[in-house]
Chains A and B, each alone.
Chain A
Amino acid sequence: MADNHKLEIFRGLIKFKSNEAKIWGVFIFLSIVTIIEVALGILKPEFLTENRFLAMKMLNWVFIILTLVKAYYITWDFMHMRDEKKSLRRSVVWTSIFLICYLVLIVLIEGDYIFDVYKSNYIKFDF
């Protein structure tokens, strides 16, 4: 029963021979992603810091996407989400994603609004 792990990652691109080999493979992948993040954080390439997308530097989007990639592999392979029933997976993942996205969206919009109020000084004390 210990052998019934799903052993392929990257949608079947790489298939490992044993669960142990898969763990080391995922570790190498996570390390590479972390090294890329740190290198980008130190170098700060200009084409990523100058262009903006949705009010944020491209570099920050790259960091956030790489973080989500790391989070996916930690959850799926280290926490064995890949081996759980689809219903358990969805009730854990989609509940969190929905609530977190909703919270982050309203809170960041509010923060931006307060920034504008401070900056333009149009309304001094009305929030």
Chain B
Amino acid sequence: MEATVVKTDTDGKTWGGGNRPLNASYGKMMMWFFIVSDALTFSGFLASYGFSRFKFIDSWPIADEVFTHFPFLHGVDAPMYYVAFMTFILIFSSVTMVLAVDAGHKMQKNKVIIYLFFTIIGGAIFVGSQAWEWATFIKGDYGAVETKGGKIIQFLNTEGERVAIADFAIELPSAREAHAEGNGVWYMEDETQTSFTFEEVKAGFLANDDLLVRTQYLDENGQPTVLSRGESIAKVVNDGKLVVEGANLKHNEYGTPLFADFFFFITGFHGFHVFSGVIFNIIIFFNVIIGTYERRGHYEMVEKVGLYWHFVDLVWVFVFTFFYLV
């Protein structure tokens, strides 16, 4: 039973390409080949994420505390709602895609156009949301201190609520002057500066008696370990080294830098797939409008691009589970 019937002039000629193994046309078969290999690539990424997570199983960041923002809702703690919204967008665009394929089988050109249009819009919303998610993650929210050993310590008040470093850091007079390109023969660009230096954060921490520190290590309830005031002071004074705001490939205020690396790499690779899927959809969208497939007599191209689009959705289902839920 085939989902699409393709008529070519080689039909019936076994040695001329008319033979169709597994009853799938050449294009569809190759799309399945590609999907299997791409699925293995993604599972390689997710498996290495699992490897690193098992390696640091007692100090891995908790996703609920990392992705807590929702656009236009400032200061509202909304873990996972936005990413759930993104999941729905992607599943819904998969539905419109499969409806477009179905309309293609029935040679209903106008329906194909409408459904493809909604698919493209859904894909664009998803890529935009992904960009927003990245921007929020890179910007960070509370800020943290990195120790000499590369671990992250975060600040809490005595009620156990997170405190942003901007709320307690004391501005110290600084003699730091940026080296400008015009001032010397030898010029190297300055590193990005955090809004407070470590000394400023340390002074503010020592001045506020109700501030505590928590480490990356999870206690038996799966929550980060909170230190007593005495231990906290010792930790900051002896081990503290660097202020971290937000995340990049080397530092990550939420915890181990590997978490940020995998986040950027896996969601980035997936976002790139969505982006190329949107481009393919736009190409076939215009092909449908100018009637290419009507003249060809079948809409198999819509089905093949549809396979790719559903695959992207399928990968997201796994990324969603392993990055945000588990």
- Report A's interface with B, CB cutoff 8 A: 1-2, 4-6, 19-20, 23-24, 27, 30-31, 34, 37-38, 41-42, 49, 60, 63-64, 67, 70-71, 74-75, 77-80, 83-85, 87-88, 91-92, 95-96, 99-100, 103-104, 107-108, 110-112, 114-115, 118-119
Contact = CB atoms under 8 A, between A and B. Distances in A.
A10 to B, nearest CB: 18
A60 to B, nearest CB: 5
Contacts of B5: 1
Contact of A34 (B88, B98, B326): B88
Contacts of A34: 84, 87-88, 91
A115 B54 contact: yes
A23 B105 contact: no
Contact of B307 (A38, A79, A91, A118): A79
B272 interface: no
Nearest to B83: A38
Given A84-B3, A92-B32, A103 B326 contact: no
Contacts of B166: none
Given A103-B47, A104-B43, A111 B53 contact: yes
B24 interface: yes
A1 B99 contact: no
Nearest to B324: A41
Interface string B6-46: 00000000000000001110000100100110011001100
Interface string B292-326: 00000000000100110011011001101100111
Given A1-B2, A99-B40, A79 B106 contact: no
Given A74-B313, A87-B22, A107-B47, A63 B326 contact: yes
B98 A64 contact: no
Nearest to A37: B325
Contacts, number: 144
A4 B23 CA distance: 14
B112 to A, nearest CB: 13
B256 interface: no
B321 A63 contact: yes
Contacts of A91: 22
A83 B4 CA distance: 10
B80 interface: yes
B95 A84 contact: no
Given A80-B101, A87-B22, 12 more contacts: A20-B99, A24-B95, A79-B311, A84-B24, A85-B1, A88-B29, A96-B43, A100-B47, A110-B51, A111-B52, A115-B56, A119-B58
A85 B43 contact: no
A104 B57 CA distance: 16
Given A23-B95, A84-B3, A38 B54 contact: no
A110 B57 CA distance: 13
Contacts of B40: 96, 99-100
B64 interface: yes
Contacts of B23: 84-85, 88
A70 B319 CA distance: 13
B48 interface: yes
